[in-house]
Amino acid sequence: MNKKRGQQSIIFKVPPTLSAAAAIAGPKEGEGLLGNYFDKVMEDNLGGQDSWEKCESYMMEVAITAAVKKTGLLMMDIDFILAGDLLNQLIATNFAMRSLERPFLGLYGACSTMAESMIIGAMMLDGGFATNIVAAVSSHHDAAERQYRFPTELGAQRPLGAQWTVTASGAVVMTQGNNGPKVTAATIGKIVDPGMKDTNAMGPAMAPAAANTMWQHFQDTGRSPDYYDMIYTGDLGSVGKELVIRLIKDKGSDVSSNYEDCGCMIYRESQDAHAGASGCASSAAALCAYLYPQLAAGYLKKILFIGTGSLHSPTSYQQKESIPCVAHAVAIEI
């Protein structure tokens, strides 16, 4: 029993290793800040498929296959896959799993799903229930827009606070034993709903959940913000990120010098993505394409990776509900 009553954090006894990571992205992401870091950049948003949804499935297959290949394992050595996406009923994930033929658990934490899948994967490994796990997520700009907002063909104008759903998939292979960056601790979030209802301003809606989980992590583990080289949130964008800094400052701590949001690491200013990136693949692309190699090479030694999710749907929005948000934190150290 590693967790004290009332706490939300888990300290792993034998921290599981992240053995490999891979990411594939769309053309806009390929022209962005992480363009050179992706394992593959598609030429268009279809990737040879006949729908955006099928393209998203294809991306997840490619990311998982590439990550597994890097470890030298065969796909049949993967005990379980833990994965999810933003599409209704997780169809991107479910259809990708059809061809991968591994035992599979579907997860939904909106854009926090990468952190969620890594936390469950780490528990399965540290608990002794598996040897090799894949954690993966995907999102697709056009598939997400037509599901959540407007068909992209409509060219509806977006407010400047809006974010751009990342077209990408990221996957990590997690292993019992092995050298490499390790998941040492995790904090599972509670729902925080600040009462916001604007689905074009999800960064600010998620910021209190991100700050809540980040703060809880510090309380539970006794670590201070400067324990980490860097703290990353998933997809708060430029507006939400500033809010997190202020919310943590209100609690008497300062993360302004070692905190960044993955949503600010994907697109260039000139790409007109407004407040930054969003989607399951925002944090996953940053982690799998960029942060993981930095950790593996030792340039980064300790990071706190916080997935952030807006748990609304178009139906809840139409029923005038606010946006419940959640954040899950994963400590990765080498």
List contacts with a copy of itself (CB under 8 A): 1-3, 5-6, 8, 10, 13, 51, 53-54, 76-77, 79-80, 84, 86-91, 94-95, 97-98, 101-110, 116, 119-120, 123-124, 126-131, 147, 176, 188-191, 193, 311-316, 319, 321, 324, 326, 328
Q: Which residues have a Cβ under 8 Å from the Cβ of 257 and sit 6 or more positions away?
A: none
Q: Which residue is listed with tokens 């400067």? A: 226
CB of 328 to a copy of itself, least distance (A): 8
DSSP for 19-56 reads: EEEEEEE-HHHHTSTTGGGSSEE-SSSSTTSSSHHHHH
Q: Which residue is listed with tokens 């899948």? A: 117
Nearer to a copy of itself, 12 or 228 (CB): 12
Q: Which residue is listed with tokens 């870091």? A: 37
- Of 161, 303, 313, whose CA–CA distance to 242 is shortest? 161
Nearer to a copy of itself, 62 or 96 (CB): 96
- Of 269, 265, 271, 273, whose CA–CA distance to 294 is shortest? 265
CB of 64 to a copy of itself, least distance (A): 13
d(CA 235, CA 220): 24
d(CA 232, CA 24): 20
CB of 94 to a copy of itself, least distance (A): 4
d(CA 25, CA 284): 11
Query: Do the beta carbons of residue 125 and residue 16 sit within 8 Å?
Result: yes
CB of 156 to a copy of itself, least distance (A): 20
Nearer to a copy of itself, 40 or 149 (CB): 149
Nearer to a copy of itself, 16 or 32 (CB): 16
CB of 231 to a copy of itself, least distance (A): 19
Nearer to a copy of itself, 79 or 242 (CB): 79
CB of 128 to a copy of itself, least distance (A): 5
Q: Which two tokens stand for residue 192?
A: 């925080």
Nearer to a copy of itself, 109 or 225 (CB): 109
